[in-house]
């Protein structure tokens, strides 16, 4: 029998979640844990605004089937960021802006404890929510925050965050300096919000260290809900690589293969440093496989988006890089 959380595999989690200990938060940790399980999640990160008040409360809500990562949303004067994997009770300072030049010290402190620093909703259209620091020193970018819907103001800022991230990938990969993975989180404050969207991570097991390692390496993709399934592999001859990996193609032809479920009549698109290079439609039942051929000379990386008819995002992947 499969023992939950003890094996390597894909785990679904939402790493930006607020309870009653944050402004605007209406749910207790117990209620959030119930809703996380109902939404098909395996883990969540507790990220209250500038406090660790609920860190102690999550122990009784977590279990073999639900991991809780201690964290914080650090709401500074010129942008918000998520500190994930804090020591229980640890609070990161938030009382500064970009002109104070102290954010680097705060990032170092989180990194010293093996935590992860995530740029939160970089194009949020409200006071102090727009992210005005350089991305240098941050590990991951939250390119998808909350519902991606054409009838909410959020669509414009998610599209802007995604476009900015996509544009930086080519240069970051060429410099060999490493690229910054994308993640998606709900920023839930109210009932019914958790898990929309969430990040699906390949991890050695369901533990804080293993899940954060998977997110840091970009072995992940973002799902609108647990109804959406995505598999993305790239192969050259007998070599095969999944999302977040680097494929050694030795100059030969490369085949990218995407399998999707749960997106009726959706559109699958492939993206490289040349932008959107291929689009294919999914059948009405929402399940299908799409292939596209390229080479390392033509494409330094490949990533995938899956959208509903009308353009709302259903899933998007981190890249596979090609050599």
Q: List interacting residues with Zn ion (CB under 5 A).
A: 73, 80, 187
Closer to Zn ion at the Cβ: 19 or 220? 19
- DSSP β-bridge partners for residue 144: 184
| Minimum distance, C-beta of residue 81 to Zn ion, in the bound complex (Å) | 9
Closer to Zn ion at the Cβ: 73 or 273? 73
Backbone angles phi, psi at 150, to 5 degrees: -70, -15
**Closest-CB residue for Zn ion?**
80
| Minimum distance, C-beta of residue 190 to Zn ion, in the bound complex (Å) | 12
Closer to Zn ion at the Cβ: 157 or 172? 157
| Minimum distance, C-beta of residue 55 to Zn ion, in the bound complex (Å) | 16
Count CA within 13 A, CB hemisphere, residue 127.
0
| Minimum distance, C-beta of residue 121 to Zn ion, in the bound complex (Å) | 6
Peptide bond into 197 cis (omega under 30): yes
Closer to Zn ion at the Cβ: 129 or 242? 129
Question: Tokens for 155?
Answer: 């669509």
Closer to Zn ion at the Cβ: 73 or 224? 73
For residues 8-20, b (16+ Cβ closer than 10 Å) or e, as one string? eebbbbbbbbbbb
Q: How many residues does the chain have?
A: 323
| Minimum distance, C-beta of residue 77 to Zn ion, in the bound complex (Å) | 13
Closest CA relative to residue 202, chosen from 189, 190, 216, 214: 214
């Amino acid at each position: 029998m499969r023992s939950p959380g003890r094996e390597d595999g894909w785990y679904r989690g939402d790493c930006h979640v607020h309870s009653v200990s944050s402004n605007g938060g209406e749910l207790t940790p117990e209620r959030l844990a119930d809703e996380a399980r109902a939404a098909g999640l395996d883990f969540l990160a507790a990220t209250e605004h500038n406090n660790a008040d609920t860190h102690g409360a999550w122990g009784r809500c977590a279990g073999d089937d639900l991991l809780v990562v201690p964290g914080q949303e650090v709401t500074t004067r010129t942008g918000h960021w998520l500190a994930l994997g804090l020591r229980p009770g640890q609070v990161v300072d938030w009382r500064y802006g970009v002109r104070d030049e102290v954010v680097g010290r705060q990032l170092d402190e989180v990194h010293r404890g093996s935590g992860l620093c995530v740029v939160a909703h970089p194009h949020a259209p409200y006071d102090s929510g727009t992210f005005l620091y350089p991305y240098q020193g941050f590990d991951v970018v939250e390119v998808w925050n909350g519902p991606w819907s054409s009838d909410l103001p959020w669509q414009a800022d998610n599209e802007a965050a995604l476009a900015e991230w996509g544009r930086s990938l080519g240069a970051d990969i060429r410099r060999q300096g490493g690229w910054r993975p994308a993640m998606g989180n709900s920023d839930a404050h109210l009932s019914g919000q958790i898990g929309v969207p969430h990040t699906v991570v390949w991890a050695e097991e369901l533990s804080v260290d293993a899940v954060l390692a998977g997110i840091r390496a970009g072995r992940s993709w973002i799902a609108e809900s647990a109804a959406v399934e995505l598999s993305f592999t790239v192969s050259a001859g007998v070599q095969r690589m999944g999302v977040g990996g680097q494929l050694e193609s030795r100059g030969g032809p490369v085949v990218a293969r995407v399998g999707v479920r749960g997106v009726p009549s959706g559109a699958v698109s492939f993206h490289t440093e040349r932008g959107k290079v291929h689009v294919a439609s999914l059948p009405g039942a929402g399940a299908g496989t799409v292939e596209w051929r390229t080479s390392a000379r033509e494409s330094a990386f490949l990533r995938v988006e899956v959208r509903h008819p009308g353009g709302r995002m259903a899933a998007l992947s981190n890249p596979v890089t090609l050599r």
